[in-house]
Amino acid sequence: MAAVDNSANPQRRLVLLGGGHAHVHVLQDLARQPIPDFAVTMITPFARQMYSGMVPGLVAGHYTADQASIALPPLAQAAGVTMLQDAAVGLDAGACDLQLQSGGRVSYDLLSIDTGAVMRRDEPPGADEHALFVRPIEHFVQGLDTLLTRESQGGEPLDIVVVGGGAAGVELAMALQHRMRQAAPRPGQNGSRVALLTGGEAPLAGYPAEVMQRAADTLKDQHIAVFLDTCIEVRVGHLMLGSGARLACDTAVLATGAQSPTWLQGSGLALDGRGFVQTGATLQSRSHANVFAVGDVSSRVDVQHPRSGVYAVRAGPPLVANLRLWVAGQSLKAHTPQQRTLNLISCGQRSAIVSWGNWSAQGRWAWWWKDHIDRAFIKRYSRAMPLSTQPA
């Protein structure tokens, strides 16, 4: 793709880099009220935004991919936003210049980054050749289809190991166990086996003790073996563990921690120790006032919170508000993330664990609650009409 020629367009340029949860809200807000005298471009490698909160339900077979995603082109069209299906491979924040994977370049006056974090494909060794990564979610969904096709062909059961003891790993392990049991050739026949490799700590480490115990009991009830060990290498047919043991594995699903995109290095933006974009209370870069960043690609210097989709979703309204204030030359407003968040951890079968501060509960009712919240989110952003014309 050739460089984008902006010379014929005297308007200033806002670039939305990434189609993340917050940028979905920005698109809908722009459909309601465009920014005067600004040409807006969204750059994203995928034509849909997979909603991370519904991925475990997708894996379990409760949703289709379309039900768990938001189509971006209709939103962009309604907002008058030019959409480029591409990805950034370089950024010069001083020159306000983006280099794209296609070979093109895009300049900007105002930049908002919501690309999400990434996973390094060279860790652990052998993962790139033999493992299935949960990020990017779009690629994970495609790999899941291949895995399910392999399972449906029958033959010997597969040994599937989910690597990662956080919420994503726990949810995916239970979702896969449910899906594989449903795919067993005959009722009562053992299907593929699912295990969880936590990295050394107990599942859901960092959550309240009662939530951790609920997760441990549920994993046991679902016959998911839990190994408190690390993976140091992925090989054909097994994983090498930090303890020196081997763990049988036909397919490894990596749900480990997220890393920052490598293209941020050398961008000139202020980054934290792990390479994420440093931002303050206004969601602006600490080094470049015309750059904003939200979601897992960013790191607040004033407050600490987990890298969770709920924070990216909540950042949408304050982000678009501050983008408008920046354009108008007005003072920006601080965004204070919520101190406590509602966590709904799906358990494969239509059941979930609820966590709010130190309180927790569990049951089918919790899954239906989560299902209602998730479907409402998708429904809200799956209409191309402006907010003002949507039914309440």
> Among 55-59, 254-258, 347-351, where is mean pLDDT lowest?
254-258
What stretch of H or E contains 376?
helix 364-381
CB 188 within 8 A of CB 156: no
Spell out the residues 6+ positions from residue 92 whose beta carbon is closer than 8 angstroms to its own: 99, 267, 268
Q: Which helix (H) or strand (E) holds 374?
A: helix 364-381
178: Cβ–Cβ under 8 A, 6 or more apart, which residues? 60, 61, 222, 348, 349
Q: pTM of the predicted model, to two decimals?
A: 0.89
Instruction: Provide CATH 3.50.50.60 ranges for the chain.
Output: 12-45+86-118+259-339, 127-254
Calpha distance 92→266 (Å, rounded): 8
Those residues with Cβ within 8 angstroms of residue 16's Cβ, 6 or more apart along the chain or in another chain? 23, 26, 27, 40, 41, 42, 43, 81, 112, 114
Residues 12-45+86-118+259-339, CATH architecture:
3-Layer(bba) Sandwich (3.50)
- 156, amino acid identity: E
How confident is the model at residue 342, as a pLDDT? 87
Paired residues of 187 in beta bridges: none
pLDDT in tens, 312-338: 788 999 999 999 999 999 999 999 877
Which of 188, 163, 159 lies closest to 250 in space, CA to CA? 159
**Average pLDDT of the residues in 297-317:** 78
For residue 4, name the pLDDT band (cuts at 50, 70, 90): very low
Type and span of the H or E element at 319? helix 309-327
Distance (Å, rounded) from C-alpha 69 to C-alpha 295? 17
The model's pLDDT over 208-226, given as tens digits with 9 standing for 90+, comes to: 999 999 999 999 999 999 9
- pLDDT one-digit tens code per residue, 174-206: 999 999 888 765 544 557 899 999 999 999 999
Query: For residue 31, what pLDDT is reported?
Result: 95
**Is the pLDDT higher at 358 or at 392?**
358
* CA torsion through residues 101, 105, 106, 112, sign: positive
Q: How confident is the model at residue 383 (pLDDT cuts 50, 70, 90)?
A: low
Strand order in the sheet with 225-227: 131-133, 251-254, 159-163, 193-197, 225-227
- The model's pLDDT over 14-52, given as tens digits with 9 standing for 90+, comes to 999 999 999 999 999 999 999 999 999 999 999 999 999
CA angle 5, 71, 24 (to 5 degrees): 70
Give 388's pLDDT tier (boundaries 50, 70, 90).
Answer: very low
Q: Cβ neighbours of residue 64 under 8 Å, at least 6 residues apart?
A: 58
pLDDT at 235 over 50: yes
DSSP string, 4-53: P--TT--SEEEEEES--HHHHHHHHHHHHSPPTTEEEEEEES-SEEE-GG
Concatenated DSSP letters for 133-197?
ESSSHHHHHHHHHHHHHHHHT-SSPPEEEEE--SHHHHHHHHHHHHHHHHT-SSTTS---EEEEE
Fold of 127-254: FAD/NAD(P)-binding domain (3.50.50)
pLDDT of residue 229: 97
Closest CA to 120 of 103, 99, 141, 134: 134
- The amino acid at residue 111 is L
d(CA 218, CA 88): 41
Sequence-separated (6 or more) residues with CB below 8 Å from residue 293:
112, 113, 114, 277, 279, 283, 285
Around Cβ 337, how many Cβ atoms within 10 Å? 17
Return the amino acid letter for 62: H
Per the model's pLDDT, the better-predicted residue between 387 and 208 turns out to be 208
Consecutive H or E run containing 61: none
Q: What tokens were used for 281?
A: 């209370």
